[in-house]
Amino acid sequence: MVLSSSMDEHEDISYKTLRRLQQAEQTSAVLQKIQVTFYQDLSVYIKNIERSIAQENNPLKLKVFTDEVQNTKKIASSIYELREKKIVQAALATARGASPDLKNLLDGEKSLFDALVAQISSSRKQIFEGPVDKQRTQPLVSPANVDHQKDHPNMNPIVRVLEDTPEFVGTDEQTYSLRKEDVLSLPAEMAEPLLKKGVVKQVK
């Protein structure tokens, strides 16, 4: 298996080469170049050691293999976490408009990076732009509609909202969210208490 930069050309995975890669990731701010099959090859390497453990009867060799697999797993986890941290930092930088060095991302790491950028960008947009207002269940009444309703004395009263109100369910079982300066038609039995409270003022 080939690992460039941090490992010599054509150098197979071993405890020594993994330690070298770990140190390179620790001392560099950018992702180190590794073979695209690195994680798969690492998994095979660990399984081979575990297979040796299962087949070994010599207590001394058994301890050597056991220590090796435990240390290898720790280093492998460390390498991944070091790279993961750089990916998170790169995603944050990208969401803020920067262009970090991404040439050494593996395919699986690229998927993580893209998902992080999308989530960070979405969260920033929602925080700064705010949630989309709920669609008002009752449309505003235009002046033309008000004039039209003057010819129909039996229609519901037209009122102008004097102050914002929390969303509530009216006597007609519809949901209302009144905003200051809205002009709308309300059922008479619902308009009356709002008029008394000074929340609305009757236009007609």
Predicted confidence (pLDDT) per residue in 21-34, tens digit: 999 999 999 999 99
- 103 & 196 share domain: no
**Which element (helix H / strand E) includes 66?**
helix 59-95
In a domain, 179, yes or no: yes
Residue 191, number of CB atoms within 10 A of its CB: 21
- Count CA atoms within 13 Å of residue 126 on its CB side: 7
Structural domain including 156 reads: 143-202
Number of domains in the chain: 2
- 66 & 156 share domain: no
In a domain, 148, yes or no: yes
pTM higher than 0.75 for the full model? no
User: Any idea what DSSP says for residue 104?
Assistant: T
- Which band of pLDDT confidence, cut at 50, 70 and 90, is reported for residue 152? very low
- 32 & 100 share domain: yes
CATH code of the domain covering residue 59: 1.20.58.1030
Q: Render pLDDT for 167-200 as a digit per residue (tens, 0 to 9).
A: 766 666 677 777 777 777 777 777 788 888 887 7
In a domain, 62, yes or no: yes
Looking at residue 172, its pLDDT comes to 65
In a domain, 10, yes or no: no
Range 107-111, long-range pairs (CB < 8 A, 24+ positions): 107/36, 108/39, 109/31, 109/83
